[in-house]
Amino acid sequence: MLKTLDRYIIRQFLGTFFFILVTIMLIAVVFDISEKTEDFTKMKASTWVIIRDYYLNFIVYYSNLFSGLLIFLAVLLFTSRLAHRTEIIAMLSSGVSFPRIMWPYFLTATILTGLSLLINHAVLPAANRVRLAFEEEHIRATFHVNEKHLLREITPGSITYFESFNTNENIGFRFSMENWSNGELTRKLTADRAQYDSVSGAWRVSDYLLRTMDGSREHIERGQLLDTIINLKPSDLGQRWESSMAMGWTELNAYIKAKMAQGDGSLMPFLIEKHQRTSYPFATYVFTLIGVSIASRKVRGGTGLHLALGVLLVLIYIFTMKLTSVAATNAGLDPMLAVWIPNVMFALVGIWIYQKAPK
């Protein structure tokens, strides 16, 4: 049963959070419109389509992305205000323990964490799918224009390689395909270039050399053009890492499994996205703990000092997230550890600050 104190803190928490969220999103939309005004004037999409397909999903994405940090600022703001008005001191003086004061904070944090998990796993992929499709069609081109050194195992024992690939033209250069059986090379096709035909689904290779091995015998064939069917599409060779955000949980897991089977070495952003969908919402608890522990102490600098400390911690948290993500991408750090390390580190910091908070 919620007491008057619980309802008061929950109302203050949620009211401050949603006020900050709405304000920040309005500012973000205004800045985005000013940045893309020229693009909007050139595109054929109507104003309603821009609002429906782009900005509604834009708001969903960035609201969820910044929710943890905005929750932190909300806790700092209204708790600092309570401390400044000596309401925290009054609560403690009346016999209410500090852990009891923390209870409605963590109840609200649980509600917001559950909401964020629901959005991350059920709502956001569909919203991102529409938003990214709009960007692809009207704002920017497809994933990367040039990919380098692409190696894929398309079926067991069948390996393709492109030294480079142009995604705008669907042309790969320095192409080779090897077929292996029982640890022995049975067939190898090399070509100066290979172009994908989206109509027939075949690859047309130019200036090719085909070697077929049959025991100790080898047959060599040269030619100018050869159409060959390969279970490989240009989209299998690379995607914008943002496409992971448009995949549902089952789809994302299936994609990662398929790409691992192909020997794709560019999966780290997808693995980070997978684990971050769960880890980031739980940062709400960490931000709440740190925010209450800092802002509950009445200091001479008041809200300004609390905000300064909060912004500093936010910057350190973001830096830690980027550092661990880079370590996962370039240094082989496990992606699950990479996304959970910042939460664990700041949870320990939060516990230390909590122990120093006024009791």
The 10s digit of each residue's pLDDT in 302-334 is: 667 777 777 788 888 888 988 998 888 788 889
pLDDT of residue 263: 64
Compute the mean pLDDT over every residue in the chain, rounded to the nearest whole number. 84
Domain boundaries, the chain: 4-139+268-356, 146-233
Residue type, 250: T
Q: Per residue in 197-241, pLDDT tens? A: 877 778 888 888 888 887 778 888 888 888 887 777 776 665 555
In terms of Cα–Cα distance, which of 112, 240, 238, 119 is closest to 172? 238
Question: CA–CA separation, 129 vs 243, rounded Å?
Answer: 8
Residue type, 51: I
pLDDT of residue 141: 44
Question: CA–CA separation, 273 vs 247, rounded Å?
Answer: 10
206 bridge partner residues: 193, 225
Q: Per residue in 155-173, pLDDT tens? A: 777 888 888 777 667 788 8
Residue 140 pLDDT exceeds 70: no
When pLDDT is averaged across residues 24-39 and rounded to a whole number, the result is 90
Contacts of 88 (CB under 8 A, 6+ apart): 79, 82, 101, 296, 298, 358
Exposed, middle or buried: residue 298 (CB in 10 Å: 0-12, 13-18, 19+)? middle
pLDDT of residue 237: 63
CB-based contact 85:295 (threshold 8 Å) = no
Q: Per residue in 95-127, pLDDT tens? A: 888 888 899 999 999 999 999 999 999 999 999
Q: Taking the CA atoms of the chain, what radius of gyration do you get in angstroms?
A: 27
When pLDDT is averaged across residues 1-5 and rounded to a whole number, the result is 79
Reported as a pLDDT band with limits 50, 70 and 90, residue 59 is very high
